[in-house]
Structure 1
């Protein structure tokens, strides 16, 4: 079957809008089949350095097949840029933000180069001295991290990534930074830092204090001097400076914020707006494969890829649903595809143009890749496995184990032929495992927004947002879309009719509709049918097998309370998740959005949204709209 024949209408529309090459006048000049051939041949050309010329054609054929069939797809920059002059193929980067004007603006410049080429960037602002701190070179006072963060945001706003993507960012700050109150509340006002997702880095000692001594004073630390301070309750959050804080070594003269006060501020803002998320930074660094090179301080924009400074990662995702055969999961075929995916992503490193010299050095030294899944919920439906059940968790556990086992086997096999990653000596692969490995890290679970549209499956490990909905298309037309496993079931069981589809597309849950069997209601669940406990447990089930992290939204109903958000955060910490993001239904619906701005579609709920300026979230479902 030709590649073009495997593309459905929605995938074709997405390819035309974002991926297919255009000439200088904007006219599309390649077909989907030609695009997949372009990408496959460019990636496979890496084999010339290790094998004979025939291997290039052989792997190009394999790569083209799995991509065109929607079985295995690399991240969007690879599809867009492979085979083009100076093509940058990575999706996610982390850049350092040092505490000097030179370092800050060098990072702004590097971020601009990355975003111009289609990548997303993550930053930690911990090293920046707090607002009002001393500047020796001028004798003045610094304006603080938030003001410099705004420079990054405005630079991103100004950069149009080709014709297809806008810049996406992650901003992170430790809960122990003196400006943390400003950071927590930074996105409370609509339109502020809209091209950033934000997360608070929570060290283990904070969680231990929260549980053992919640009423103890919260201590923040000046990164320039190491001095500790308390946060007076009387602080005016937008305007406070370092001089307004109370030295931690003295008994406070006025009431100060407790650990629990700061925690509740985080919880309440997450309940109100969906941000900030949490990053359990010590849990992240437990899995840092190269601690001898430094600690991990930030992640990519959607949080699934923790990276060192100057590091990037190439991602790809496998549609699990395509391996459901004869009422079971074809584990052998899935294992082969996992191993092929590792080869593909390792090849991408060799043919990549990393734009910035230091990024090229670090990436080729560590060779991190991020292979993961999409279509997990669809596969469960096809197999009759309930998402929010112990059976669902067991299925996730098995999928995660297959991913880990086969990715590691492929990485070890590649190391025998191509050598271990150059920074292997001193890494945990050397000191803890004693195992040759081509890539310092191999697996992650990405959100797969547009990739899941190309593959025609559910995104990442998420349940679908809706079983039926109307996609808004050009000319004001609407096109009905129905979740494929549900449509198959409904027709086979005689419940398919216009009335049912009208109710589902109007936002009704299958659980609310009479005449549907209890088994069907339990099987065909959507994001808001699933309680936050099961969302978190599903994330944790995959996390124990994954090198990186998991991009997942913990959906909550509109009537959920801040206590529910707090419970979700605590459960994620207890189950070993590396981070957690919640989204309460319609918590951002108050943000204005004119109809004429609705020029993009949310990849999960498919509702029209303003064309994202970066890492906004869909106001309907909370899905990341990163580029």
Structure 2
């Protein structure tokens, strides 16, 4: 780590309590014992000064490095702008890898495949996420000419990539995150669509199907379309496009996977088509990239672009200043970054892509008194993003005057059309800001809030009710605020059924699940219209949403000009249908009712017996296991009558039947947990409500390892954070923790 002397007269940054936790866990530099030796001020100055130092390379620069470092420091510590996490972590250190997004090619050869595995491991180790297209790999069972053998297909190699990522994560470094994409016309597409039918499969991957306009036109007509072998270019068969689209919709309804990306639309906006097609994106889908390309991201806090003195409008002059300074920051990041592969260094240097995005959008709307689910909000989204892109390109033009355009400018769409010249091939991206928004104390990205008020678990089991400050101010201004009301709001996160609150407050302060899905999509499309790359956004759906609802969202996303879409139906993981192997005959309507899926019991099986005190007596639950998973249970209870004994035995038999039929433990727990009885009993820190609740308690504690399942109520929250125990929420295409910034997407 380079030595950085922090000026004594720098103002101390104001850090909110959540941000202190996040910065301590993830960003402050630590010694070999894991103890931070860096203060918050030193962290921000390390980043600001190292990025500003790159200015010294350019003799024509209109900025001086010492003053620019102060400007960057003020920009970040006022939380008007923050760069992506790798920049905060690694700027000014010996590692020096500052980019978040990478795409790697997967060639159709053993050497190419395992080169990609190795390169991904290097990127994950450095703190980045990776995207891959597996569309070049020949289909399963096709002949391998060099050996005379048969290919195992994309899915088999996808599992190898997933396993490699798991080992990097277990090695103590930052969790790796991946995107896997397969074209809709690949012969193995049906296997890919069903790849995550069983929860826990490919757990280090987000999956998206690459849709083409030819396919979408076939869906509209109900026509067949061709599957094409990638290694020969020859047709291998046909599928009905509408049937495939229906299956894709159903899988998204069941579990949220896979998502979809529109490949033709992505490549229409490819600024450097002479370098080839874009075939994949980064892990959350907002950054389409060429092979071996990376992008440096950062986000402007729109919640701070509002000033009451400015006639209740956006402070456009201040927003312009922030955009220009942020573009300079991100362009300097490209020069400051040490990329893990020479191919990446070359490609990044050729195109110099940056991705300036936003966060705090919901906060801005709250301050302006505009409901998220309104045309006025959609129109403002277009206006804001158009302004940011125009000013971002203006800033990029200024940098081109000082430093020269990006090297591939002449052959780019800008060079061909005599536009620019620009310093950067792309300027805008709307990326996930789960961690950055915690540091900045604002709402995430362009998402609505997931809850207006929620309970956060702090040290020693204490509970802290946290409330959106704009919501709290509105209540106080209306003389409607109270601690008991905040507790009540925290139970559900929403106020839509609280008719006693003023109507204008209920109209403006809406949350993710209060908003009709189509408004989510309209908002995404509004921001996409003026975003060079793409938009990270989740279309949240209520539990009762139908497959027809998702069909409409997918189709409208295509019509509205989105580059992809992610949907998440509330509670879908808990209600996922039982899958028995996924043969295509099932999709053709064949009757499977006569097939037995109940596994036979072996002659010898081992297990354990757990003693649980219930209000009806001591329950002895014997659980026998196969391959570390429960296979059958026997429930016996003492000191009770024959009826209770019979019920315990019956519950045990039914749970055993479910387990032997392939039902997941979490599904059993979600059904049994919370069932009440006439004699509840406290056991240590747990209230045992009934015999089935006791079985759920044993299963949850032994097999789910901290995963949280609700007791029958539908909520955006379905799991607890494995790091801090607070609830995870699903937004911006990923499960994230609002308290400690843990994310399943890296």
- The answer as to whether partners of 1:380 and 1:386 remain within 8 angstroms in 2 is yes
| 1:10 corresponds to which of 14, 18, 24 | 18
- Number of the residue aligned with 1:217: 224
Q: Distance in 2 between matches of 1:403 and 1:370?
A: 11
Q: Distance in 1 between matches of 2:354 and 2:718?
A: 29
Instruction: Evaluate the alpha carbon distance shift between residue 547 and residue 54 of structure 1 in structure 2; reply closer, same or farther with a 3 A threshold.
Output: closer
Q: Distance in 2 between matches of 1:53 and 1:319?
A: 25
| 2:115 corresponds to which of 106, 112, 117 | 106
Q: Distance in 1 between matches of 2:373 and 2:731?
A: 22
Residue 332 of structure 2 is aligned to residue 332 of structure 1: no
Distance apart, 1:323 and its partner CA: 1.4
- The answer as to whether partners of 1:543 and 1:577 remain within 8 angstroms in 2 is yes
- Number of the residue aligned with 2:721: 609
Instruction: Evaluate the alpha carbon distance shift between residue 620 and residue 423 of structure 1 in structure 2; reply closer, same or farther with a 3 A threshold.
Output: closer
1:110-509 matches, cutoff 5 A: 110-160=119-169, 165-212=174-221, 214=222, 216-230=223-237, 257-326=239-308, 327-507=312-492, 509=494
Moved more, 155-164 or 307-316: 155-164
Structure number with greater Rg is 2
- The answer as to whether partners of 1:408 and 1:442 remain within 8 angstroms in 2 is yes
Instruction: Evaluate the alpha carbon distance shift between residue 263 and residue 135 of structure 1 in structure 2; reply closer, same or farther with a 3 A threshold.
Output: same
Residue 53 of structure 2 is aligned to residue 68 of structure 1: no
| 1:59 corresponds to which of 36, 53, 68 | 68
Q: Distance in 2 between matches of 1:456 and 1:177?
A: 44
- Number of the residue aligned with 1:597: 706
- The answer as to whether partners of 2:15 and 2:439 remain within 8 angstroms in 1 is yes
Q: Distance in 1 between matches of 2:205 and 2:504?
A: 41
SS in 2 for 1:609: coil
Instruction: Evaluate the alpha carbon distance shift between residue 307 and residue 164 of structure 1 in structure 2; reply closer, same or farther with a 3 A threshold.
Output: same
Moved more, 331-340 or 494-503: 494-503
- Number of the residue aligned with 1:38: 46
- The answer as to whether partners of 1:202 and 1:281 remain within 8 angstroms in 2 is yes
Q: Distance in 1 between matches of 2:485 and 2:208?
A: 40
Instruction: Evaluate the alpha carbon distance shift between residue 621 and residue 137 of structure 1 in structure 2; reply closer, same or farther with a 3 A threshold.
Output: closer
| Deviations, residues 380-430 of structure 1 (Å, cap 9, x unaligned) | 001111111111011101111111110000001100110000011110110
- The answer as to whether partners of 1:37 and 1:64 remain within 8 angstroms in 2 is yes
SS in 2 for 1:554: strand
Instruction: Evaluate the alpha carbon distance shift between residue 362 and residue 621 of structure 1 in structure 2; reply closer, same or farther with a 3 A threshold.
Output: closer
Q: Distance in 1 between matches of 2:197 and 2:717?
A: 24
Q: Distance in 1 between matches of 2:359 and 2:240?
A: 41
- Number of the residue aligned with 2:517: 532
**Which structure has more RCO (C-alpha within 8 Å, separation ≥ 6)?**
1
Q: Which blocks of at least 5 consecutive residues in structure 1 are unaligned?
A: 231-247, 249-256
Q: Distance in 2 between matches of 1:217 and 1:108?
A: 35
Moved more, 494-503 or 95-104: 494-503
- The answer as to whether partners of 1:18 and 1:163 remain within 8 angstroms in 2 is no
- Number of the residue aligned with 1:550: 535
- The answer as to whether partners of 1:169 and 1:301 remain within 8 angstroms in 2 is yes
Distance apart, 1:268 and its partner CA: 0.2
| 2:566 corresponds to which of 581, 586, 589 | 581
RMSD value over aligned CA atoms? 2.2
Q: Distance in 2 between matches of 1:208 and 1:127?
A: 23
Q: Distance in 2 between matches of 1:126 and 1:75?
A: 29
- The answer as to whether partners of 2:288 and 2:533 remain within 8 angstroms in 1 is yes
Q: Distance in 2 between matches of 1:484 and 1:162?
A: 40
- Number of the residue aligned with 2:587: none
- Matched residue pairs, number? 593
Q: Distance in 2 between matches of 1:67 and 1:620?
A: 24
Q: Distance in 2 between matches of 1:386 and 1:403?
A: 22
SS in 1 for 2:409: coil
Instruction: Evaluate the alpha carbon distance shift between residue 545 and residue 621 of structure 1 in structure 2; reply closer, same or farther with a 3 A threshold.
Output: closer
Q: Distance in 2 between matches of 1:460 and 1:285?
A: 24
Distance apart, 1:2 and its partner CA: 6.1
Instruction: Evaluate the alpha carbon distance shift between residue 429 and residue 198 of structure 1 in structure 2; reply closer, same or farther with a 3 A threshold.
Output: same
SS in 2 for 1:316: strand
- Number of the residue aligned with 1:235: none
| Deviations, residues 184-240 of structure 1 (Å, cap 9, x unaligned) | 01111111111111110100011111112x1x323211101112133xxxxxxxxxx
| Deviations, residues 22-58 of structure 1 (Å, cap 9, x unaligned) | 0111111111110000011111111010148981111
Distance apart, 1:623 and its partner CA: 3.6
Q: Distance in 2 between matches of 1:474 and 1:606?
A: 22
Residue 76 of structure 2 is aligned to residue 94 of structure 1: no
Q: Distance in 1 between matches of 2:272 and 2:404?
A: 17
Distance apart, 1:491 and its partner CA: 1.3
Q: Distance in 2 between matches of 1:619 and 1:63?
A: 32
Distance apart, 1:609 and its partner CA: 2.5
Instruction: Evaluate the alpha carbon distance shift between residue 223 and residue 469 of structure 1 in structure 2; reply closer, same or farther with a 3 A threshold.
Output: same
Distance apart, 1:501 and its partner CA: 1.4
| 2:35 corresponds to which of 10, 27, 30 | 27
The two structures have a TM-score, normalised by structure 1, of: 0.91
Instruction: Evaluate the alpha carbon distance shift between residue 77 and residue 163 of structure 1 in structure 2; reply closer, same or farther with a 3 A threshold.
Output: farther
Q: Distance in 2 between matches of 1:329 and 1:224?
A: 53
Q: Which blocks of at least 5 consecutive residues in structure 2 are unaligned?
A: 1-8, 576-663, 667-699, 709-715, 736-742
Distance apart, 1:474 and its partner CA: 4.0
Residue 159 of structure 2 is aligned to residue 50 of structure 1: no
Instruction: Evaluate the alpha carbon distance shift between residue 550 and residue 53 of structure 1 in structure 2; reply closer, same or farther with a 3 A threshold.
Output: closer
Distance apart, 1:302 and its partner CA: 0.5
SS in 1 for 2:207: strand
- The answer as to whether partners of 1:585 and 1:620 remain within 8 angstroms in 2 is no
- The answer as to whether partners of 2:452 and 2:493 remain within 8 angstroms in 1 is no
Distance apart, 1:467 and its partner CA: 0.2
Q: Distance in 2 between matches of 1:433 and 1:496?
A: 58
| Deviations, residues 450-504 of structure 1 (Å, cap 9, x unaligned) | 0000000000000000000011234333221111210111111111123321222
Distance apart, 1:596 and its partner CA: 4.8
- Number of the residue aligned with 1:80: 89
Q: Distance in 2 between matches of 1:21 and 1:123?
A: 31
- Number of the residue aligned with 1:567: 552
